[in-house]
Structure 1
Amino acid sequence: MQIVIGRFLTPALDTLFNWIASVTEGIVKWAEAYPEAAKWIGYAGLAILGFTGIIGTLTIAAGFGKIAMLGWSSAVTAWTTVTKVAMFFTKGWRSAQMLLNAAFVANPIGVVIAGLPPVSACCWPCYLIFPDYGNHLKILSETHGGESSYRRTRSGYGMAEKFG
């Protein structure tokens, strides 16, 4: 493939390269004739090239900064939306809590009735996790033959002997 492309492009590129060589040959002859001027023109060219490179680098950096700021502004917008949604639900929860508190102030028996489900919801996992927990619940609820079942529990056996 390289040979085929080279066969078609070589004549066109030969004329271009010959023209560049002739122009460069003229510049080299002029630089040899006036070395001091060529030196200062070279310095000026390098300064312009360096300044252009610096400006190009700053432009690229500014572009990256704009991209970063676009991402930052998107993140801030998303966070603002999240906080507004959270604020909406918090205000709703606060209103519901205020209504519940007003209902409990009006009827204290409601506090006891409303407290039973959370207490029972807490007791059931404890009963499942700790096998001795059921025995401790029996202490609170029943006695057998005048003797507390506390005396018969494994954890309370030493206490029964001690306090007898």
Structure 2
Amino acid sequence: MSNIPEVGQPAPDFSTPDQNETLLSLGDFSSQWVVLYFYPKDDTPGCTTEAKDFTELNQKFSELGAKILGVSPDSGKSHGKFINKHNLSITLLSDPEHLLTEAYGAWRLKKFMGKEYMGVARSTFLIAPNRIIAYTWPNVKVKSHAQQVLTKLQELAATSQSAE
């Protein structure tokens, strides 16, 4: 069974290249919320919809102090083409060795047409500025997912501000 981090646990750290081959770590976003979402492959129908939905809401996430990071096994070069083709405004991380994907329990046994194989299970993690997992979506359905994440972030950000 995959080891999915739970709400309240420290978020697994990472150091992974983005679409520009710039190495990014969780610590680079220490004062921000992070939406870390895992998806199977650049430029496929579901993954394109999800990336475009997050891009459409990116300004609202930014206003709440959140950074959106998409993760797939694709190369930085593939990510760059994907971003340019669909005019995406989010950051995409390259994880060809599945190290980050495994750390978040998103590299799982999948089934398609009766065959079992290991692959990326569409999952999203909302990480608080203190680097603690604030909310998880371990089995994402693309339709309206970005909006669900934004709504949850609005709730949690409001709660953390009133607690200060």
- Pairwise TM-score range, normalised by the shorter structure: under 0.3
* Larger helix fraction of residues: 1
- TM (normalized to structure 2)? 0.14
Which protein is bigger by CA-based radius of gyration? 1
